[in-house]
Structure 1
Amino acid sequence: MANGFKINKQAIRKMSREIEREFAKNPVRVPLEADHRAVSLPAATTVNNYNGPVVTVNGDHAQLAWDNQSVTQVQAHIEQVAPGYEQLAQLLTDILASLSTFPLDETDGSELRENANLVLQEVVKSEPDQGIVRRGVTLIKGLLAPISAGLGKAATEETAEAARQVIDALGASLPF
């Protein structure tokens, strides 16, 4: 620095430590008053509850009942199926309801469920994309084909016949 003046950094660090110790012994308390009218906080997106069980429910129209004697839950969520796709929507709903009757492994079962739901989401649009519907139905038929041929480990003649009927009905239910 000019004229031989140097800053003693070691002395500054020592002085800072002594000031910190002094404030630790005698903390400074400053009362604050906030004007809550000027503050607008965003809505909380995450709630952490550390004093009890935590249940996280995701999804549209989710319902939850816990520790009740009798519960009645009703949802009035109705979607209109596009004209011409009613039979397909009914068939996919029936397949999803009776999915456990088909001897599918966990991966194939979840794949079938995902594709059936994808097609169902598409057929409630005012103008469904025929490509998405066709691909979903083809994949579902492909997942059921080994069962209809009796190739699965647990495939019985009844499940094979049911799979054949479902595959035929899927092909017949496409409006295009």
Structure 2
Amino acid sequence: MGKGFEINKQAIRKMSREIEREFAKNPVRVPLEADASGVTFPAGPITNNYHGPVVTVHGDNAQLAWDNQTANQTQNQDIAPGYEELAKLITGLLASLPALGLSGDDEHEAKATAESVLGEVVKDEPDQGRIKRGITMLRGLLAPIATGVGVTVSGEAAELSKTLIEGLGSTLPF
């Protein structure tokens, strides 16, 4: 009997390097204009992945999209009563993270903390202590932007941070 099919890992690494070089030569540029007069948040975070498989996992639920032109993946989870506004605000915060101008580590920490809070509000009985700690952490990460401490803080980012901090303090159901 034959050995069967084996994945050529070296060829995959080589192909990945060549693709990275090609994208480095031809970067995608999109001009943006911001209007902060009516700051609204999208329904949820949107991720566009153009070059690879997409795997979405929430708890025991997993979705996989691979080698297709368009994939629309949604997962609906029930939010604990009274936590709807907080969940909406945290989802908006996640969608706005790139615009806030946080450092890499702070942005990663904010994302992890926000996802932790969202994971808590979909439970039957959310742990109020974990939610309070998460909100305190998020407010602490947003405070330097709201006060304009960072060198690259824009007026829009400062205003958005202030709005998020006020919202985080006023949406607690307890």
TM norm. shorter chain > 0.5: yes
Q: Counterpart of 1:65 in structure 2: which amino acid?
A: W
Uncovered stretches (5+) of structure 1, i.e. residues with no partner:
1-47
* Distance across 2 between alignment mates of 1:157 and 1:56: 37
TM norm structure 2: 0.65
* Distance across 1 between alignment mates of 2:113 and 2:139: 11
1:50 corresponds in structure 2 to: 7
Q: Deviations over 1:29-60 (max 9, x none)?
A: xxxxxxxxxxxxxxxxxxx9424749887762
1:88 aligns with 2:45: no
Larger radius of gyration: 1
TM norm structure 1: 0.65
Percent of residue pairs identical: 40
2:65 corresponds in structure 1 to: 64
**Contact 1:65/1:71 (<8 A) preserved:** no
**Contact 2:83/2:173 (<8 A) preserved:** yes
**Contact 1:63/1:73 (<8 A) preserved:** no
Q: Deviations over 1:112-169 (max 9, x none)?
A: 0000000000000011000000000000000000000000121122211111111001
2:162 corresponds in structure 1 to: 164
- Note the aligned Cα RMSD (angstroms): 2.3
1:97 corresponds in structure 2 to: 95
Matched positions, count = 126
Q: Counterpart of 2:116 in structure 1: which amino acid?
A: L
SS in 1 for 2:145: helix
* Distance across 2 between alignment mates of 1:129 and 1:97: 24
Q: Which structure features the higher share of strand residues? A: 2
Deviation at 1:86, TM superposition (A): 0.3
